[in-house]
Chains A and B, each alone.
Chain A
Amino acid sequence: MVKKRISEWEQKFVEVVYEGGHEAFFERFLLARDIDYLLIVSPWITSLSNEKVQLRDIAKKIMREKISTRVFMRHPRKEPINVEAVEIFGSCLTVNLYFNNELHAKVYVCKCDPIGFALVGSANLSGHATRSHEIGLMVEGKGKGIDIVEELQTLGVDLQNRCGTFSNM
């Protein structure tokens, strides 16, 4: 059997993100095409006002392109900081919101043409995260990264089974 040669480009499927928290992910999200699915897992989510990418930008793209989206966060009754995000995402027809007050993971996955990308790290989807000492790994959907991005996507199903639901669908 001929072993498929993997180029250096395909080997470099992961990159450490030292600055800007989730910004690198969502800047790419706003530029991405043919998005099948967006997954946001973050206990705390704010409107990101005064940030380079604001939550309304993200919501606008979700609405305009009818992107199937799952958002996992803590309940706004427990975390009032989440109220505005719930209102913004709540107005998007293609967003399913799930609440889990035990949530502590921060994972962002965008499945798009050609494969997609994901960010796993310490940054919440909040303005504070762009300036704090956060760290993350950006995984590209190339080489071995393809499998990782796909596995991270399935979190959307796993987590769903452990959450309360607020759904527009």
Chain B
Amino acid sequence: MEIREMDLKNYCSLTRNRFEIDPERDAEWYFGNRKVNEELIKRIRNDFLVRGVPKCGILGRFGFGKTHTLCHLKYLFQSNVNDYPAVPFTMRIAPYDEGIAETSGWQYIHGKMLDAIGERFLREVVRDFDKLPETRRGELSSEMMKIFKFGDENLKTSLSNLLSAYFLREVKSTLAAWQWLKADKITKATDLGDVGVKKTLETGGDMLNVILNIGNLVRKVRKTGIVFLMDEAQALNEVKKRRRNEIHDAFLQLAEPYNADVGFVIAYFGTGQQQIPDVFSKPDDILSRLGVSQSNIQEAIKDLKDLIKTKDDLRKFIDNVLNGLIDKEKARKLINQKGLSGKVKPQQLPFTEEALDRIAQVLYQKEPNRNPRMIINTLATLSAEAYQKGKAENKYILATREFVDPLIKDL
């Protein structure tokens, strides 16, 4: 094939159309300093033993891989239930805005948690609970109520009646049920009254008790907990005094040792540990339940800046990215066809070794550039430049040091 007819995918022998890493699709990969990954995994595995479910967090600036790390955790939880016995649910806390009633308070976060759980999962759990030999004899809602540990009698009764009535069989719309679960305004309250719902969720505590009871249900049915992977939690910095107690108390309850079924891994934007939102870190009663204090907070909230610590880490990160994106066999053939043998390695196409060293040197010089997003963007831009030039001249242009130098002068 002539160079002028090639697309970027063929030119760079990519395994995908564009030079990109997708946090969801590439969740299996984890790049950079393995120590960070190991420390985080160690914390999570310890949490399963000590707290029943993970209760920890990650911290990093934009582009440091918070979302990718959460996706990687989700992948681990889903692919290895024995080591990570918790069903993961991903959610974004942002946008949080107390100027808008619908995007503020614990109810907003609670709604996001329930949306993350979703109807299909809730149905599966209710149906699986119904099939358990030990619960088959009694009435479903009474059996369910026995395993709920949180909230007053009316809340437990209402939740068990509602789940039994709406989520076992698909005979009626679950709209009213979701409105109740999410503490929204209920449009047809009579429907709920008919199935035995006795109270509405008035406080953040009530709402959290619903989530904790769902956690009890999952534990009973699946023998695992549930864990919320909460992204963009820096939005909690917007929590003002009026909502502060409610949200702090909800996180405190999640952190309490008596909750061993509902965990969280919370991801914040920030550079310093001081940037952990006050609503979470002050007073430090939540932190103390996570086994840390202000002085050793990094034991529970891992800082992703450690992902790329040295120039060597950065260079390895580049190699890992290229290794994951390039189809080596295809690259080898292309190198032979175009007479590029000896000039470039298949796993680095279209970059030469010298160019990659230079890119690593330039990116490493400035601290804000030492992050996965900047590195991937730089590689993507440079490979696109080589492709465009190659296409225009109808010959294979390698990204050599001389080629990349003027393009990275502003980094």
Which residues of A are in contact with B by a Cβ distance under 8 Å? Answer: 7-9, 11-12, 27-28, 30-34, 52-54, 56-57, 60-61, 113-115, 117, 140-142
Contacts and interface: CB of A to CB of B under 8 A. Distances in A.
A17 to B, nearest CB: 13
The 3 closest A-B pairs by CB, nearest first: A57-B272, A8-B409, A31-B367
Interface size grouping (class) on chain B: 20 to 34
A142 B367 contact: no
B309 A33 contact: yes
Nearest to A138: B366
B411 A9 contact: yes
Nearest to B410: A12
A53 B271 contact: yes
B405 interface: yes
A52 B275 contact: yes
Interface string B305-328: 100011100000000000000000
B274 interface: yes
A54 B368 contact: no
A12 B365 CA distance: 12
B271 A31 contact: yes
Residue of B309, B311, B364, B366 contacting most chain A CB atoms (<10 Å):
B366
B274 A56 contact: yes
Contacts of A52: 271, 275
B273 interface: yes
B198 interface: no
B408 interface: yes
11 contacts: A7-B405, A9-B410, A11-B409, A28-B367, A31-B368, A33-B367, A57-B274, A60-B272, A113-B310, A114-B361, A117-B366
B410 to A, nearest CB: 7
Interface string B335-352: 000000000000000000
Nearest to A29: B367
Interface string B394-411: 000000000001101111
Given A12-B409, A33-B367, 11 more contacts: A8-B405, A8-B409, A9-B408, A12-B410, A30-B272, A30-B305, A31-B368, A33-B310, A52-B275, A53-B271, A61-B272
> In the complex, which of the residues A12, A30, A115, A142 has the most CB atoms of chain B within 10 Å of its own CB atom?
A30
A11 B275 CA distance: 35
B368 to A, nearest CB: 7
- Choose among A9, A11, A28 the residue with the greatest number of B CB atoms under 10 Å from its CB: A9
Nearest to B411: A9
A7 B401 CA distance: 11
Nearest to B311: A114
Contacts of B271: 27, 30-31, 52-53, 57
A114 B366 CA distance: 9
Interface string B40-64: 0000000000000000000001000
Nearest to A28: B367
Interface in B57-86: 61
Interface in B266-310: 271-275, 305, 309-310
Contacts of A54: 272, 274
Contacts of B272: 30, 53-54, 57, 60-61
B391 interface: no
Contacts of B410: 9, 12
B248 interface: no
Interface in B242-279: 271-275
Contacts of A31: 61, 271, 305, 367-368, 370
B362 interface: yes
Contacts of A28: 366-368
B407 to A, nearest CB: 10
A57 B273 contact: yes
A27 B362 contact: no
Contacts of B368: 27-28, 31
A107 B346 CA distance: 48
B364 A114 contact: yes
A27 B269 CA distance: 13
Interface in B373-411: 405-406, 408-411
